[in-house]
Amino acid sequence: MLYLLSDLSSAFTPLNVFRYITFRTGGALFTAGLFVFWFGPWIISLLRIRQGKGQPIREDGPQTHLLTKRGTPTMGGLMILAGAVVAILLWANPRNHYVWVTLTVTLGFGAIGFYDDYLKVTKQSHKGFSGKFRLALEAVIAMAACFTVAVYSPAALQNQLAFPVFKDALLNLGWFYPLFGAFVIVGAGNSVNMTDGLDGLAIVPVMIACGTFGFIAYLVGNSFTASYLQVNYVRDTGELAVVCGAVIGAGLGFLWFNAPPAQIFMGDTGSLALGGLLGSIAVATKHEIVLAIVGGLFVLEMMSVIIQVASFKLTGKRVFRMAPIHHHFEQKGWKEPQVVIRFWIIAVILAMAGLATLKLR
């Protein structure tokens, strides 16, 4: 743990630089990226050998995918998680409870996604294990995380929902808060999972959201900046910026191999884990509503599926040509790179909108 090296001496030494969150965030980003760049080809080769036919492609999906994506290995989330975890353990403060809560949610959701991917690959079916059971497992992990966050939150903020823009507006949810927080975390995990359908489509918006929430965590965890921006000060959450830096670095390394045409897919292993990570950081920093803005692209993807299913069951008609919505635009004639890059642009705009709530008074 490089952070602990700065405790070896109370006097000024070059090692004291490790006390700075900004320095360690950059170190985590670089370490995670280098790890994935270095070990990525070996991991891809191993997964290709182990999986044989690769990720099964939905027969009812875009027909072009049957030709261009068949045989591509999945579970690329293992690359992201490995790089991020190594960097977090190396650069983050191991005494910080928020770091461990976030890691627990990320790895727990990643394990669920891994098992789902494993079933899909071994059975050569796009269906994993029971959706209800999967959601139940996610909910248990998320609720445990929310209870822990509530314990370590400032007394004035425990079980409180903070509203953006209206700085002093707090809604006491009482014992309902862990349920609400779990809904945010589970919803974030599954929304990112829905978005992961085209090469590079999910990982870049995840990195944009991580960059945004890394900045938010740094500001919220600093008493001076929190007071200046009139946001709720949540002590120790600044360390989550290091976590976000590690994810961005690992994401950049993964994007090198996931850029069109993808050499590997993220799979549920990565998408569930990364969504859960974003949700847990939002809960820890008391910015759950801002996550719906910053992660608006993920919300749009999830809502398109919900609307499509509800419409078909109630009326027998479909609202979209295909859901999630990125497939709708493919069916309208957009090329895959067009869909991906335009969705990236939307993600940037939404991130800027989320950051704007910090200064609006």
Output the pLDDT for position 125: 64
pLDDT of 69: 62
Q: How confident is the model at residue 146 (pLDDT cuts 50, 70, 90)?
A: very high
Phi, psi of 292 (to 5 degrees): -65, -25
Taking only the tens place, the pLDDT of each residue in 264-318 is: 999 999 999 999 999 999 999 999 999 999 999 999 999 999 999 999 888 888 9
Nearest residue to 61 (alpha-carbon basis) of 327, 289, 313: 327
pLDDT digits (tens, 9 = 90+) for 165-202: 776 788 888 889 999 999 999 999 999 999 998 888 99
Place of tokens 């509203």: 163
Report the pLDDT value the prediction gives residue 12, as an integer from 0 to 100.
Answer: 52
Domains of the chain by residue range: 26-55+64-153+164-290
Whole-angstrom distance, CA of residue 72 vs CA of residue 283? 35
Contact criterion met (CB below 8 Å) for 344 and 204:
yes
pLDDT given at position 66: 46
pLDDT of residue 17: 72
Report the SS3 class of residue 172.
Answer: strand
DSSP assignments along 127-163, one per residue: --S-HHHHHHHHHHHHHHHHHHHHHHS-GGGTTEEE-
Where residue 261 falls among pLDDT bands split at 50, 70, 90?
A: confident
Return d(Cα 305, Cα 313) in angstroms, integer.
Answer: 12
Please compute the mean of the pLDDT values over residues 203-221 and round it to a whole number.
96
Question: How many angstroms separate the CA atoms of 329 and 337, rounded?
Answer: 11
Dmax over Cα atoms in the chain, in whole Å?
72
Helix (H, G, I), strand (E, B) or coil at 342: helix
Report percent pLDDT > 70 for the chain.
88
| DSSP line for 290-341 | HHHHHTHHHHHHHHHHHHHHHHHHHHS--SSSSSSHHHHHHHTT--HHHHHH
pLDDT > 90: percent of the chain: 60
Each residue of 32-86: pLDDT tens digit? Answer: 999 999 999 999 998 888 876 666 655 555 545 544 566 788 889 999 999 999 9
Is this model's pTM higher than 0.95 or not? no
